Structures are given as C-alpha cells and as structure tokens.
C-alpha cells in the first residue's frame, strides 16, 4: 500500500493584503529540507502574487473555493481553471464556513471537486461534526456521510486530500482529545476509496499541539487557519510535521 503524503496546509480565510505576502516569503525562505508538502491558501486576490512571491521554493499555493461550473454567467464566482491559471495547485472545498455560511451541501462539494480535478487541481475536501452532533454521539455517522457524499467519482490520492475539521474546534482554541481524533481518522481511512489519500486534521492546530496530533497513526498533516498567518507559527507546525 502506498503511504499517504504529509501535507501542512494553511488557510488564510478572508485575511491578507499584499503587504502580508512578506509572511509567505518568510515561510518560503525559512523552510529547510522538509519532506512534507507545504501549502498556503490565501484569498483569491492574492493567489497570483503569492505564487510569484514563493516561486522556486517548496511552498505551493491554493484556493479556498471554486465554482462547480467551468465558465459562463456566474457573477462573482471563480472557476477551478482560473485558480490553476493564477498559480494554484490545490483548492479547499466544503470548508465548514462555506457549508454553514453559503449552504453548501455535500453534493455541491462533490461537483466542485470534480471541476477541480478536471482543471488539474488537488481538492482538499473538508468535513466535520458540529458540537451538538458530537454531544449526540453522531460524529462518525456525520463524517462518514459527508465523506461518501463529498468525494466525486475518480477521487484518488493523486487528486484528493481529506481534512477532518470538527466545527467546534475551528478558531476556538479547543481540540478533540488525541483519542477522539484517532477514532475519526481510523474510521475515515477505512472508508476512503483510495487508502493512500492524505488525511489532515484541522481545528486550532498550533505550534504547541502539532507534534502530539502528528504522532497519531492516521494523521498525515494539518489544515491550519489562524496559525498559518504568521510564518513563525506555521513554520513551527511544518517542522513538527517533518519530524513526525
Ligand atoms: P483554525 O482554523 O486553525 O483557526 O482553527 C482551521 C480551519 O478552519 O481550517
């Protein structure tokens, strides 16, 4: 069985102006001989400039969403091909903020992932339970249903990454126990269409907890929000993943 690749992915969300590209440059120049993939997903306005800023380094650049359609009359939307044309290699899809704020269903996420694959992008497909779903003992049922509904036909380790992000852990400073993360990741691994798809954990990953999380057997990396905005913090998380 091929082993899943390690990936440290940063999600800048709706943060970042051109002046903040200095953080991407600092991350790129501070990276040693890391064996893991390093990805920053800035807002779409910065993709092209960030790709130029980190050119020649190991840092890859990605988008945070794409349209399901290829082109046409969809004001304000951005196609997967446009992201690729701007220098993106990956795109985050189905983040809980998009599922909640924009009513995105797993079926729509699967359509977007197919569009991403057709444009040659790696789709990072996010899933995770809410706090009430966890309290109600529904965590595994919820994430497995999202997994089954959000991955398109043809998803392989070459074109797809899955990120488990408990909604209640995002931006809150709270994380599940290591045993709870392990339980979900083991269950996801057993249900992937290709066992070598990388499984990321996301939700309040920081330099201080990254090493413990990366020591979990079926965790191949992290999707990092707040701590990806500063090169020093994200660089420390990359170093922890490299050492895992
Ligand atoms: P956080 O966000 O690291 O700020 O909790 C994670 C995410 O939403 O991907």
Instruction: Report which ligand 1 atom has the smallest distance to the Cα of 205.
Output: 3
Mean pLDDT (whole number) for 215-224: 97
Q: Quick: pLDDT tens for 122-171.
A: 999 999 999 999 999 999 999 999 999 999 999 999 999 999 999 999 99
Instruction: Report which ligand 1 atom has the smallest distance to the Cα of 96.
Output: 8
Provide the pLDDT confidence category of residue 3 given band limits of 50, 70 and 90. confident
With tokens 């903040």, the residue in question is 20
Instruction: Report which ligand 1 atom has the smallest distance to the Cα of 11.
Output: 9
Mean pLDDT (whole number) for 8-34: 94
228 CA → ligand 1 middle, Å: 9
Nearest CA to ligand 1 atom 2: 225
pLDDT score for 33: 76
Identify the active-site residue in 97, 117, 165, 185.
165
pLDDT score for 188: 98
pLDDT score for 1: 47
Paired tokens of 61: 């650049």
Look at the pTM and tell me if it is higher than 0.95: yes
Q: Which residues contact 96 (CB under 8 A, 6 or more apart)?
A: 126, 128, 165, 167, 170
Task: Describe the chain by its helix, strand, coil percentages, rounded to 5.
Answer: 45, 15, 40
- Known active-site residue 165: yes
- Known active-site residue 185: no
Provide the pLDDT confidence category of residue 2 given band limits of 50, 70 and 90. low
Nearest CA to ligand 1 atom 6: 225
Identify the active-site residue in 23, 90, 95, 104.
95
Provide the pLDDT confidence category of residue 4 given band limits of 50, 70 and 90. confident
Give me the architecture of the 7-243 domain, per CATH.
Alpha-Beta Barrel (3.20)
Do 149 and 193 contact (CB within 8 A), yes or no?
A: no
Paired tokens of 49: 């400039």
Do 186 and 149 contact (CB within 8 A), yes or no?
A: no
pLDDT score for 44: 98
**135: burial class by Cβ within 10 Å (0-12, 13-18, 19+)?**
exposed
15 CA → ligand 1 middle, Å: 12
The answer, yes or no, to whether residue 242 has pLDDT greater than 60, is yes
Q: Quick: pLDDT tens for 177-215.
A: 999 999 999 999 999 999 999 999 999 999 999 999 999
Phi-psi region of 184 (alpha: psi -120 to 50; beta: other; left: phi over 0): alpha
Q: Quick: pLDDT tens for 63-117.
A: 999 999 999 999 999 999 999 999 999 999 999 999 999 999 999 999 999 999 9
Ligand 1 pocket check for 11: Cβ under 6 Å: yes
54 CA → ligand 1 middle, Å: 22
pLDDT score for 108: 98
Residue ranges per structural domain of the chain: 7-243
Ligand 1 pocket check for 171: Cβ under 6 Å: yes
């Amino acid at each position: 069985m091929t082993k899943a690749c390690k990936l440290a992915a940063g999600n800048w969300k709706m943060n970042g102006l051109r002046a903040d590209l200095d953080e991407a440059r600092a991350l790129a120049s501070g990276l040693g001989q890391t064996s893991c993939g390093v990805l920053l997903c800035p807002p779409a306005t910065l993709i092209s400039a960030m790709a130029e800023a980190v050119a020649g380094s190991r840092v890859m650049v990605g988008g945070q969403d794409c349209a399901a359609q290829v082109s046409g009359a969809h004001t304000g939307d951005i196609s997967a091909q446009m992201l690729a044309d701007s220098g993106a290699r990956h795109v985050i899809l189905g983040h809980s903020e998009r599922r909640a704020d924009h009513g995105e269903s797993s079926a729509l996420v699967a359509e977007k992932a197919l569009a991403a694959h057709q444009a040659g992008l790696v789709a990072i497909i996010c899933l995770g339970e809410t706090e009430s779903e966890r309290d109600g003992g529904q965590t595994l049922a919820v994430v497995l249903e999202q997994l089954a509904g959000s991955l398109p036909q043809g998803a392989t380790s070459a074109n797809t990454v899955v990120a488990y992000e408990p909604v209640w852990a995002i931006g809150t400073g709270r994380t599940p126990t290591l045993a709870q993360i392990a339980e979900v990741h083991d269950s996801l691994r057993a249900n992937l269409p290709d066992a070598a798809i990388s499984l990321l954990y996301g939700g309040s990953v920081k330099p201080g907890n990254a090493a413990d999380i990366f020591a979990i057997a079926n965790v191949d990396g992290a999707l990092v929000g707040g701590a990806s905005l500063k090169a020093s913090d994200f660089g420390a998380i990359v170093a922890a993943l490299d050492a895992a």
